[in-house]
């Protein structure tokens, strides 16, 4: 469903948000170590997210990435759309470019149901929602 890069993006943002309370910025190194991903990859991803106003960054000493209170209220669909694009939840289950309710592929109706659930999931869960279980130690971002 999501690209590997996009999954990494979500994990990185959740880490960043779960660190929010501290008031400190997080550097690329710190983030990539925590979510067990390549430093360069994380750097690239976070740059893209800054461009899309999902997170913020500051250069220089004591710089790094951070997420504002307002930004934490975003749903994670913003992350997904920034990395994989807005069409992710519109794609046909069989890869047909012109699959729709009026011109459906053989699995259109059933596939759409599941796809809509995933879209709704990403469109309703906020970043805050997802970092709660991480802060509580109930879920993990690595492994």
Partner DNA sequence: AGAATAAAAGCACTTTAATACTTTTATTCA
Partner DNA sequence: TGAATAAAAGTATTAAAGTGCTTTTATTCT
Pairing of strands 64-66, 56-58: antiparallel
Site for a second copy in 106-125 (CB under 8 A): 106-108, 110-111, 113-115, 117-118, 121, 125
DSSP 141: S
Q: Return the sign of the alpha-carbon dihedral for residues 7, 13, 16, 21.
A: negative
Place of tokens 């069989």: 94
Least CB distance to DNA at residue 101 (A): 26
Q: Which is nearer to a second copy, 38 or 139 (CB)?
A: 139
Query: Residue 132: enclosing H or E segment and its boundaries?
Result: helix 127-135
Q: Which is nearer to DNA, 51 or 132 (CB)?
A: 51
Q: Which two tokens stand for residue 94?
A: 């069989």
Under the binding rule (CB under 7 A), the answer on residue 64 touching DNA is yes
Q: Which of 10, 13, 37, 130 binds DNA (CB under 7 A)?
A: 37
Least CB distance to a second copy at residue 62 (A): 29
* Residue-by-residue DSSP string for 95-115: --TT-SSSS--TTHHHHHHHH
Residues 6+ apart with CB under 8 A from 85: none
Q: Which of 21, 22, 23, 61 binds DNA (CB under 7 A)?
A: 61
Q: Closest Cα to residue 132, out of 72, 45, 64, 56?
A: 72
Residues lying near a second copy in the complex (CB under 8 A) are found at 1-2, 4, 7-8, 10-11, 14, 76, 93-98, 103-108, 110-111, 113-115, 117-118, 121, 125, 129-131, 133-134, 138-143
Residues lying near DNA in the complex (CB under 7 A) are found at 3-5, 8, 25-29, 37-41, 43-44, 46-47, 50-51, 57-65
């Amino acid at each position: 469903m999501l690209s590997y890069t996009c999954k990494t993006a979500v994990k990185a943002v959740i880490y960043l948000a779960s660190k929010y309370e501290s008031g400190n910025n997080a550097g690329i190194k710190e983030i990539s170590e925590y979510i067990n991903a390549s430093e360069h990859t994380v750097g690239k991803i976070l740059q893209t997210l800054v461009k899309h106003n999902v997170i913020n960054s500051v250069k220089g000493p004591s710089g790094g990435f951070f997420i504002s209170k307002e930004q934490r209220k975003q749903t994670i669909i913003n992350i997904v759309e920034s990395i994989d694009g807005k069409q992710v939840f519109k794609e046909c289950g069989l890869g047909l470019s012109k699959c729709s309710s009026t011109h459906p592929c053989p699995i259109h109706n059933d596939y759409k149901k599941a796809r809509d659930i995933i879209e709704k999931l990403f469109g309703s869960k906020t970043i805050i929602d997802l970092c709660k279980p991480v802060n509580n130690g109930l879920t993990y971002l690595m492994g």
